[in-house]
Amino acid sequence: MKKTVCFIANVLVISVMMTNMVSGQAKIKAYFTNPVNNSLSTGVNAVYLPSGSMADTIVAYIKRAKYSIDIAQYDYNQDTYSGAYANIAAAVDTAYAHGLTVRWIHDGAASNGGLALLNPGIHTLGNPSTSSGIMHNKFIIIDANSSNANDPILCTGSEDWSSTMFYHDYNNIIFIQDSALAKAYTAEFNMMWGSTTAVPNATAAKFGTAKTDIGMHTFTIAGHTVELYFSPTDNPDSHIASTINSANKDLYVGVYDMTRTGDAYNIVGRKTAGVYTLAVVDQYTPTTSSAVNGILTAGLPGHYVVYSGSYIYHNKMMVVDPSDTCSDPIVEMGSENWTSSGTNYNDENILIIHNDTLANIYYQSIIADYTAIGGGSFVAPNGICGGSMTTGLQETASVPTACSVYPNPTTGLLTVEASEVINDVAVSNLLGQRVYVASHLGSTTTQIDLSGIAAGIYLVRVNNGAVTKLVKE
């Protein structure tokens, strides 16, 4: 059966917007502390920041702040053990001296020697010793409440602040310019701070299991869905599991510590289902969970590697379907290790970003990690969009059949037209779950009723070919 591929002009526009956004026009930028494999790039190279220069980048963003800086950082030590790096405290002090509001949350039990370098006028707050978990976030919010929507910036990732972390350990961070996302992180920050002012209220402050759900989880950034989950209120592991199980073509996991056997079984389950699967963990994982190590060793023969070097594989990231832009390429990243403490007790955050360009960027990093650490042979899977890995932009020359879907956005009734007979239409949510299927249609035009599905963003496929992202209002 010949595949019908719907090529709609606004899909190309959205894809171009997102590619530019990632590649240099300020919306989303990702950075890695260890070498990347740019030979796998589909157009936007992943960026490796060597010799502590990740800290230079953090400082550069802090210097951009106009009004406020909120920092929730597990541990900060301005040491020179493995090499001097840009002085983060000095940059924050300068901002404070210029009249910016600065607030800083940290883990109450971590060393945090760098906090002694802060201006005494800057208020800080650590989670109490009675907390059931650790304050393990690593995020910065800049200018969240600016009236200029281009000012707010959110930074998050796996990076703790020390010379070893910046120079040697495997880490990643991401900067996202988006007002709504910055405000959501601010709501979580305020809950831990116990106040909306520059002065914390330790009595009202909530950490760990004392927190409540902020109720803001799904965002659209330049046409692409970004999901945000905090622990323990949002049970992030359930969303990690859904993301693993959404993989159709290939799956790559790079995690410092994994103790939840359910995650390991889900990873192996995708491999068993025919999904090309690789996993990288730190040597800490076999120490904390021999069960997880056994599941991955047996289930991913030749495709599972444990870092055993002198430093730490500290990433917490996953890439889904970077080789299949007809699917739903995803990056999952943030501060949370895949552990019961991480999802049930700690203060953590994860982002699940549905974007083919960013998925390819993280793919360049995780494959470089896998091969550098001593993983087995790697053969990149062929994508199903044209038979090879693509940039995610469908070229008009490669589209075999004209097709249109309207209205988009839709409130329910959707018309699909094609220049050849439409046999099947399937609608899936961004977790890969089908919410509508119609078969044996036998016409070039068909109308489907989506009024029964929830508002959101969906993928529509015709005759098992790639179609478009659909907005249901």
Mind listing the pLDDT tens digit for each residue in 339-364?
999 999 999 999 999 999 999 999 99
Distance CA 458, CA 431 (A): 9
pLDDT in tens, 368-389: 999 999 998 788 787 655 333 3
Greater confidence, 244 or 389? 244
Domains for the chain: give ranges and CATH numbers. 14-20+226-373 (3.30.870.10), 21-222 (3.30.870.10), 401-472 (2.60.40.3080)
pLDDT of residue 403: 63
20-42: pLDDT as tens digits? 334 333 489 999 999 999 999 99
Structure tokens at 368: 């470089």
Average pLDDT over residues 316-328: 93
Tell the residue number behind the tokens 């299991």, with chain if given. Answer: 209
Pairing outcome for strands 250-255 and 276-282: parallel
Return the H-helix or E-strand segment holding 99.
none
Q: State the DSSP string of 338-352.
A: BSHHHHHTSBEEEEE
**Residue pLDDT, tens place only, 415-431:** 888 777 887 787 877 65
pLDDT band, residue 4 (cuts 50/70/90)? very low
State mean pLDDT over 152-157.
98
Report pLDDT digits (tens) over 431-461: 556 778 776 677 888 888 888 888 877 778 7
The closest alpha carbon to 429, from 349, 361, 345, 330, belongs to: 330
pLDDT digits over 126-153, tens only?
Answer: 999 988 999 999 999 999 999 999 999 9
- Residue 99 has a CB neighbour count (10 Å cut-off) of 8
What is this structure's pTM? 0.79
Question: Residue 136: what pLDDT?
Answer: 98
The model's pLDDT over 249-302, given as tens digits with 9 standing for 90+, comes to 999 999 999 999 999 999 999 999 999 999 999 999 999 999 999 999 999 999
Would the pLDDT of 366 be above 90?
yes
Question: pLDDT-based confidence at 166, cuts 50/70/90?
Answer: very high
Distances (CA, A) of 166 to 163, 283, 384, 421, 446: 5, 19, 38, 56, 56
